[in-house]
Amino acid sequence: MTPTEKLLEMKLELPVTAATVGRYVPAVRTGNLVFTSGQIPMRSGQLVAEGKVPSDVSMSQAHAAARQCVLNALAAIKGVAGSLDTITRVVRVNVFVNSSPGFVEQATVANAASELLNDLFGDAGRHTRCAIGASDLPLSAPVELDLIVEV
């Protein structure tokens, strides 16, 4: 089953790639690699949650935000690669978590993103990763991530 078919089976949709608010692009392809810009958990023009994890945003909300970030990044990749089905490998995921003081479970939040990628791409979805705590993120998003994939 292709990643596109798996998305349908999981009842997930890729959003329209959001317009950037700066002098950058959502994704760049160089050779066989596609790099995305940082993606925050926007859906239909709104953040799915806002604030710090876990004081303002629960762990379950943070997991949902991480999954939305993945969908947004995949939409950006599709925009330059033409189809998710051209992805042969997820290489790297960098996850930034807007963390309350003392919060140290960034990897748990990042696992939600990793699990979605593994579900969509199987063995090709296994990747390297950083999970990083941040004191603030753009628009007070709880999570931001970027992807590097091979096509």
Summary count for the chain: helices (H), strands (E): 3, 7
Question: Domain residues for 54?
Answer: 28-150
Q: What is the DSSP string of 73-95?
A: HHHHHHHHHS-GGG--EEEEEEE
Residue 56 belongs to some domain of the structure: yes
What whole-number distance in Å separates Cα of residue 82 and Cα of residue 80?
A: 6
Q: Are 93 and 114 in contact (CB under 8 A)?
A: yes
Residue 12 belongs to some domain of the structure: no
pTM of the model: 0.97
pLDDT tens track for 87-139: 999 999 999 999 999 999 999 999 999 999 999 999 999 999 999 999 999 99
Residue 67 belongs to some domain of the structure: yes
pLDDT score of 20: 81
Q: Which CATH number characterizes residue 133's domain?
A: 3.30.1330.40
Residue 3 belongs to some domain of the structure: no
Residue 10 belongs to some domain of the structure: no
Q: How many domains does the chain have?
A: 1
Residue 18 belongs to some domain of the structure: no
Q: What is the DSSP string of 107-122?
A: HHHHHHHHHHHHHHHG
pLDDT tens track for 75-90: 999 999 999 999 999 9
Residue 8 belongs to some domain of the structure: no
pLDDT tens track for 2-59: 999 999 999 999 999 877 878 999 999 999 999 999 999 999 999 999 999 999 999 9
Phi, psi of 104 (to 5 degrees): -130, 20
